[in-house]
């Protein structure tokens, strides 16, 4: 397995409630509550298709969301993934 790929729990491991623009997430494996702003919930959804490296993950997200023209999308995505990794919702596959 490629060490740059990331993995998340399957969707059934999370209870997600939408609250005015943010996602309230109860993470069943840890029992912790997270409040996530976009695009973090969307990253978790995209990882439900399977492990992915940041570039592949960005391709998945581009299918559903319009990011406009920006050069540093992948760097921004990696920063958000790092935050999710810190919170324990995402880890290296």
Whose Cβ is closer to another protein: residue 77's or residue 89's?
Answer: 89
Q: Which of 12, 31, 66, 70 binds another protein (CB under 8 A)?
A: 31
Helix then strand then coil, % of the chain, to nearest 5 = 40, 25, 35
Kindly give, in sequence order, each residue whose CB lies less than 8 Å from that of residue 26, ignoring residues fewer than 6 positions away. 14, 15, 16, 32, 33
Residue 11 binds another protein, judged by CB under 8 A: no
Residues in contact with another protein, shown as a per-residue x/- string from 33 to 72 under the rule CB under 8 A: x-x-------------------------------------
């Amino acid at each position: 397995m490629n060490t740059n790929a990331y993995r998340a729990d399957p969707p059934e491991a999370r209870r997600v409630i939408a609250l005015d623009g943010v996602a309230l997430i109860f993470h069943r494996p840890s029992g912790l509550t997270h409040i996530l702003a976009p695009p973090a919930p969307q990253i978790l959804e995209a990882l439900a298709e399977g492990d992915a490296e940041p570039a592949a993950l960005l391709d998945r997200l581009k299918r559903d969301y319009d990011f406009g023209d920006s050069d540093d999308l992948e760097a921004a995505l990696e920063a958000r993934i790092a935050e999710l990794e810190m919170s324990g919702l995402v880890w290296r596959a």
